[in-house]
């Protein structure tokens, strides 16, 4: 199936990045959020990030203008009805995602491919509640989406081959690289990355190192572009905790126990960059 138009549900940091790369690759984008202010802020962020690419010579001013012209916004899920592909990029909470699918499905064309940008939740389980498990997939982008090369593709147990093939073609048109992962908790990237972040929080919790020494050690000692605590703030501590809980529940192994300090920070509302405070202070 040829994909020309894309509906994106959720205009947060992942949703706006996904809208950015689709619009730049020539797709018509309809960005949805329940919050109109979040949509305005997402469009401003996309404009700023595209401008950054223009100033570094990565994107021409004409391509930026054309990409911005391809992005429309709506607070109504019904408006996504005529799109060829829908990407749900809402918060990492299964109940929220199910609620969105329930509201969205009556409006979708039968052939529309439905995907979730979930970073950890079972694709098979999300798909099973929809009317199209064979046309449902995990479509997992990395943050910051305009920069990161990888997209994970996760087939649920019922996903059909044409759907998988179509998404492979979409990833190629985005100029990104697809990695296929089996549908097990947190797939590949987050199965490895987030327990490392959780271990860094344990390292802090147990007093082995300070925030700065832990991050400096991993940047200079392992050549990571960001230290694990800085990266946790960047991803969002609530998202990191949600992923650890999915691993802990889904794999029933104490090695995935979320660090109590991570839980405490989330309970305090210290969610990282997006809330102004996490392991670092951004205020
Ligand atoms: N939009 C467009 N371009 C952007 C951008 C954005 N949002 N953010 C950064 N860039 C560009 C910059 O313009 C710059 O471009 P040039 O190479 O052309 O100069 C380049 O990216 C590097 O940016 P900076 O110079 O500002 O800063 P940096 O060198 O420190 O890199 C970074 C920033 C790319 C974020 C880098 O620190 C990095 O790779 N960090 C690790 C990110 C990571 O691990 N992401 C995965 C998170 S896990 C995930 O996403 C999965 C999940 O489900 C939780």
pLDDT tens-digit profile of 228-258? 999 999 999 999 999 999 999 999 999 999 9
Ligand 1: centre distance to CA 12 (Å): 16
Is the distance from the beta carbon of residue 49 to the nearest atom of ligand 1 less than 6 Å?
yes
Percent of the chain with pLDDT over 70: 100
235 and 100 assigned to the same domain: no
The rounded Å distance from CA 221 to ligand 1 centre is 20
Residue nearest to atom 11 of ligand 1 (CA): 147
pLDDT at 216: 98
Domain boundary among 181, 208, 234: 181
- The mean predicted confidence, pLDDT, of the chain is 97
Same domain? For 85 and 104 the reply is: yes
- Give mean pLDDT, residues 2-31: 97
Asked if the structure places residue 216 within a domain, the reply is: yes
**Same structural domain for residues 76 and 153?**
yes
Please choose from 16, 44, 59, 144 the residue to mutate so as to test ligand 1's pocket, defined by most ligand atoms within 8 A of CB: 144
Regarding whether 177 and 96 lie in a shared domain, the answer is yes
pLDDT digits (tens, 9 = 90+) for 256-274: 999 999 999 999 999 999 9
User: What number is the average pLDDT over the span 130-159?
Assistant: 98
Residues 196, 137 share a domain: no
pLDDT for position 202: 98
Tell me, what CATH number does 227's domain have?
Answer: 1.10.1040.10
19 CB-near residues (< 8 Å, 6+ apart): 8, 11, 29, 31, 42, 46, 71
Would 135 be classed as within a structural domain? yes
Answer yes or no: are the C-beta atoms of 183 and 154 closer than 8 Å. Answer: yes
Read off the pLDDT band of 1 (50, 70, 90): confident
**Structural domain for 259, as ranges:** 191-274
CATH code, domain with 12: 3.40.50.720
Ligand 1 and 189: CB distance under 6 A: yes
Both structure tokens of 209: 């190192």
231 lines ligand 1 (CB under 6 A): yes
- Whether 102 and 232 map to the same domain: the answer is no
Q: In terms of domains, do 177 and 199 share one?
A: no
Q: Does residue 248 fall inside a structural domain?
A: yes
- Spacing, Cα 226 to ligand 1 middle (Å): 10
Catalytic residue flag (residue 152): yes
| Token pair recorded at residue 152 | 């994970």
- In-domain check, residue 282: no
The answer to whether 119 is a known catalytic residue is: yes
Among residues 145, 163, 181, which one ends one of the domains? 181
Contact (CB, 8 A) for 181 and 154: yes
140 tagged catalytic: yes
| 16 given a catalytic annotation | no
Q: Do residue 197 and residue 236 come from a single domain?
A: yes
Q: Tell the residue nearest (CA) to atom 8 of ligand 1.
A: 144
3-state secondary structure the chain: CCCCEEEEECCCHHHHHHHHHHHHCCCEEEEECCCHHHHHHHHHHHHHHHHHHHHCCCCCHHHHHHHHHCEEEECCHHHHHHCCEEEECCCCCHHHHHHHHHHHHHHCCCCCEEEECCCCCCHHHHHHCCCCHHHEEEEEECCCCCCCCEEEEEECCCCCHHHHHHHHHHHHHCCCEEEEECCCCCCCHHHHHHHHHHHHHHHHHCCCCCHHHHHHHHHHHHCCCCCHHHHHHHHCHHHHHHHHHHHHHHHCCHHHCCCHHHHHHHHCCCCEHHHCECCCECC
> Is the distance from the beta carbon of residue 57 to the nearest atom of ligand 1 less than 6 Å?
no
Catalytic residue, chosen from 16, 49, 117, 152, is: 152
Catalytic residue among 49, 117, 119, 122: 119
User: Do 61 and 162 belong together in one domain?
Assistant: yes
Q: Is the same domain home to 167 and 240? A: no
Instruction: Report pLDDT digits (tens) over 24-80.
Output: 999 999 999 999 999 999 999 999 999 999 999 999 999 999 999 999 999 999 999
147 has pLDDT over 80? yes
Q: Is 116 in the pocket of ligand 1 (CB under 6 A)?
A: no
Find out whether 201 and 214 touch, Cβ atoms under 8 Å.
no
Q: Is 24 in the pocket of ligand 1 (CB under 6 A)?
A: no
Whether 168 and 203 share a structural domain: no
- Segment 192-206, tens digit of pLDDT: 999 999 999 999 999
- Examine the pLDDT at 165 and tell me if it is beyond 80: yes
**Domain membership flag for residue 96:** yes
Q: 118 CB under 6 A from ligand 1? A: no
- pLDDT of the residue at 99: 97
Q: Has the ipTM of the complex gone over 0.85?
A: yes
Whether 280 is in a domain gets the answer no
Nearest CA to ligand 1 atom 39: 225
Domain count across the chain = 2
Same domain, yes or no: 54 and 167: yes
Record the pTM.
0.95
Q: Is the CB of 112 under 6 A from ligand 1?
A: no
Q: What percent of the chain has pLDDT over 90?
A: 99
């Amino acid at each position: 199936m040829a994909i020309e138009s894309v509906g994106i549900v959720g205009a947060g940091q992942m949703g706006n990045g996904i809208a950015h790369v689709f619009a730049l690759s020539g797709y018509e984008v309809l960005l949805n959020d329940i919050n109109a202010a979040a949509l305005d802020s997402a469009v401003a962020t996309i404009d700023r990030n595209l401008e950054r690419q223009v100033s570094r010579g990565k994107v021409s001013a004409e391509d930026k203008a054309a990409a911005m012209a391809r992005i429309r916004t709506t607070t109504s899920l019904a408006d996504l009805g005529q799109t060829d592909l829908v990407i749900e990029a809402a918060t990492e909470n299964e109940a929220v995602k199910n609620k969105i699918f329930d509201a969205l499905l009556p409006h979708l064309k039968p052939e529309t491919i439905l995907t979730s940008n979930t970073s950890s939740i079972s694709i098979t389980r999300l798909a099973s509640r929809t009317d199209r498990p064979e046309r449902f997939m995990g479509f997992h982008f990395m943050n910051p989406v305009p920069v990161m090369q990888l997209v994970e593709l996760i087939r649920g147990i019922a996903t059909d081959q044409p759907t998988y093939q179509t998404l492979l073609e979409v990833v190629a048109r985005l100029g990104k690289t697809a990695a296929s992962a089996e549908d097990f908790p947190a797939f590949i990237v987050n199965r490895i990355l987030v327990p490392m972040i959780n271990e860094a929080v344990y390292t802090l919790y147990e007093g082995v190192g300070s925030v700065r020494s832990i991050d400096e050690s991993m940047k200079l000692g392992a050549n990571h572009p960001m230290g694990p605590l800085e990266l946790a703030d960047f991803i969002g501590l609530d998202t990191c905790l949600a992923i650890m809980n999915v691993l802990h529940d889904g794999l029933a192994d104490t090695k995935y126990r979320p660090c109590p300090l991570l839980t405490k920070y989330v309970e305090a509302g210290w969610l990282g960059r997006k809330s102004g405070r996490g392991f670092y202070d951004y205020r």
